[in-house]
Amino acid sequence: MTQIRGTYRRVALVAAFSLLSAAPGRAQQAGDAITKLEDRAQHAVKRGLEFLKSTQNEDGSWTEKVGRKVHMEYRGERAKHVGVTALACMAFLANGSLPESGEYAEQIEKGLDFVLDCVQVNGFVSANETRMYSHAFATLFLAEVYGMTRMERVRDKLKRAIDLIVQAQNSEGGWRYLPGSEEADMSITVCQVMALRAARNAGIHVPKHTIDEAIKYVKSSYDHRTGGFHYQLPTGPDGRRQPVRVTFPLTAAGVTALYGAGEYGGKYIEDGLEYMRQTMPGRSDASGNFDYYYGMYYATQAAFQRGGGYWNLWQAELWDDLLYLQNKAGGYWEDLVGKNYATAMACIILQIPYQYLPIFER
C-alpha cells in the first residue's frame, strides 16, 4: 500500500481508521467531535456564501482564472467563468435555496440565467474558452435545478448539454478537455459521469451504453499495486503498459463515479477507499495546491456514501482542516485557481451531509 504522507495528526487519523473495527468507540468519539464542530461549520458556510454573494457580477456570473494546470502551476486569465458560476450556485442550492425561493434565490436565479446563456447551439456550455470541466459542472448544476424545480426553460438546454457529453465520449469510454478528443483522463471523465447521473436522476434520457462504457473506463484505470486510480489508461501507443500517476484526487473521483453508477462494494471501491485513507492530504497541502479542493469534493462524496465510522472519522478530520483554512477576516477560501472557486468548493463540501442536492443523497 502506498506510503503515508502528512503530519503526525494525519498518521493518527490513519491509525484511527485501522482500529475502528476493533474499537467501535472511536466512531462515537468522532461523532462527538462532529457535534462540537457543527455550529462552527455552519457559521463558516454562512460567511463563505456571503462572500460569494458579494463577488457575483451584475450579469449573474463569477469571475475567476480561466486556464489550466501546467506542472504545479495554474495558468490563465481572469474572466467570467461558467464553471465557477455553476459551482457557486450549487453552493447556494446545497444550503437549501432554489431559483425561486430561499435566502439566496436571487443569486441562483441570476447565475442560472448566465449559465443558460452560455449553452451553445451544439450543447457545449462554455464562456471565455472554458472547456469540458466547466461544461460538466454547468450541466450538473442545470440537472440539479431541473430535478428540483422542473423549470421548462432549463430542460431543453440541459438535454442539449447532455447530448454533447454523450456525443463527445471517445473510443476509450471517457472524455478529455474538448469534445472530439481521442484521449481521455479520469479527472474530466468523472465530472461528465456525475453530470450524466444527475440528469438521469432528473428524468433526462441518458443511454445506458454511455454509462457502461464510462464505468468500464474507470475500472480500467484501477492500479493493482496501490489500489488507487490512474490519471489516464496506463497503456502506451505501442500497447505496452506505461507508468501513469496515481493520486488521491483521481482515486476519490473514481470511487465516487462507481458509487454514482450504483456500485457499493467490491475491490475497486474498497481498495480505493483504503488508498484515500492512506493518502488524505492535510491542511498544509492546501496551500499552492491546485487539486486540494477538487480532490476533497469527490473524496467527501465517497466517504459520505460509505457512511458509518469511515464517514465519522473522515468528517471530523476534514471539517477541522476546512475551518482552519478559511480566511478569518474575509470568510473565503483560496487556492491557485482563486477565491471564488475555492470558496464554492469548500461550502459545497461542508454541506454535503445536508443532502439538499439530489446528487449527494445516499
Calculate mean pLDDT across residues 33-57.
90
The pLDDT of residue 8 is above 50: no
In angstroms, what CA-CA distances link 236 with 202, 241, 242, 266, 314?
38, 6, 6, 28, 36
Q: Where are the beta strands (DSSP E) in the chain?
A: 63-70, 73-80
The pLDDT of residue 166 is above 50: yes
Distance between CA atoms of residues 109 and 49, nearest Å: 15
State pLDDT tens for residues 199-251: 999 999 999 999 999 999 999 999 999 999 999 987 655 565 565 799 999 99
The pLDDT of residue 46 is above 60: yes
Higher pLDDT, 91 or 73: 91
The confidence score (pLDDT) of residue 222 equals: 95
State pLDDT tens for residues 246-275: 999 999 999 999 998 889 889 999 999 999
The confidence score (pLDDT) of residue 254 equals: 97
Calculate mean pLDDT across residues 67-85.
82
Per-domain residue ranges of the chain: 8-360
The confidence score (pLDDT) of residue 236 equals: 54
Q: What are phi and psi of 145, to 5 degrees?
A: -65, -50
Cβ–Cβ under 8 Å, residues 42 and 94: no
Distance between CA atoms of residues 112 and 64, nearest Å: 17
The confidence score (pLDDT) of residue 284 equals: 87
Cβ–Cβ under 8 Å, residues 6 and 281: yes
Distance between CA atoms of residues 223 and 212, nearest Å: 20
Radius of gyration of the chain (CA): 19
- pLDDT exceeding 70 applies to what percent of the chain? 86
> CA torsion sign, 266 to 270 to 271 to 276?
positive
The confidence score (pLDDT) of residue 9 equals: 44
- Cell numbers for 286, please give them: 492546501
The confidence score (pLDDT) of residue 4 equals: 39
Distance between CA atoms of residues 213 and 226, nearest Å: 24
Higher pLDDT, 75 or 26: 75
Q: In 72-207, where does DSSP find H-type helix?
A: 82-93, 105-117, 132-149, 152-168, 186-201
Cβ–Cβ under 8 Å, residues 187 and 253: yes
How many CB atoms within 10 Å of residue 131?
A: 18
State pLDDT tens for residues 278-335: 999 999 888 767 789 999 999 999 999 999 999 988 998 899 999 999 999 999 999 9
- Cell numbers for 59, please give them: 450579469
The pLDDT of residue 140 is above 50: yes
Out of 3.40.50.280, 1.50.10.20, 3.40.50.1820, 2.10.240.10, the CATH code matching 8-360 is: 1.50.10.20
Q: What are phi and psi of 187, to 5 degrees?
A: -60, -50
Distance between CA atoms of residues 26 and 309, nearest Å: 8
The pLDDT of residue 75 is above 50: yes
Nearest to 46 by CA among 92, 102, 86: 92
pLDDT class of 362 with cuts at 50, 70, 90:
confident
Angle CA(335)–CA(340)–CA(343) in degrees, nearest 5? 70
> Of the given ranges (68-77, 124-133, 191-200, 206-215), which has the lowest mean pLDDT?
68-77
Q: What are phi and psi of 79, to 5 degrees?
A: -160, 170
Distance between CA atoms of residues 353 and 311, nearest Å: 10
Cβ–Cβ under 8 Å, residues 334 and 327: yes
End-to-end CA distance of the chain: 29
Higher pLDDT, 287 or 70: 287
State pLDDT tens for residues 178-193: 998 988 999 999 999 9
- Cell numbers for 74, please give them: 495554474
Q: What are phi and psi of 125, to 5 degrees?
A: -95, 105
**Can you tell me which residue has the cell 482563486?**
338
The confidence score (pLDDT) of residue 5 equals: 40
Query: What is residue 150's DSSP assignment?
Result: -
The pLDDT of residue 14 is above 60: no
- Helix axis angle, 105-117 to 132-149, nearest 10°: 130
pTM score of the predicted model: 0.90
The confidence score (pLDDT) of residue 1 equals: 37
